[in-house]
Amino acid sequence: MAQIDRFYVAIALALLIVGEVLGFYMGMQNDMKWRTVHIIIVLLGFVTLGMFGALYRLWPAMKVGALATAQFWLTVIATAGIIVGSILQVQNGSVVVLATSSAVMIVATALLAWLFWERATT
């Protein structure tokens, strides 16, 4: 997946905008009900995905092969699930989606770490 770094950064920037708009809304309404969702969108969505993109950009050998593609999609699906799960937790206290998606994110991050240690030799 030759452009994996760009895809990560593009998604990260889109989520940063969403997080900023949500933060602006919360401030305008003086309502912190969605604070957890805002934090997850900005920290997980922007910071984590941006860092993943930077790792792939700094060590291009990590991009090669199906494992990099699988790692990307696991991360994207887990991120969406964690965001949706955090919304559900705020709305009704349910943690099933959040917990499941968090487990998928751990697997995706472990796979990224493996790709780094195996392929980032320079």
Domain count within the chain: 1
pLDDT level of residue 2 (50, 70, 90 thresholds): confident
d(CA 50, CA 38): 16
pLDDT at 120 over 90: no
Q: What's 120's DSSP letter?
A: -
Residue 122's pLDDT is what?
63
Under 8 Å CB-to-CB from 21, ≥6 apart: which residues? Answer: none
pLDDT at 12 over 70: yes
Residue 84: φ, ψ to 5°: -60, -45
Quick: pLDDT tens for 75-115: 999 999 999 999 999 999 999 999 999 999 999 999 999 99
Span 55-64, mean pLDDT?
Answer: 95
Tokens of 70: 């699988």
Residue 121's pLDDT is what?
80
pLDDT at 56 over 70: yes
Host domain of residue 31: 4-119
Nearest to 5 by CA among 68, 66, 52, 43: 52
Residue 1's pLDDT is what?
80
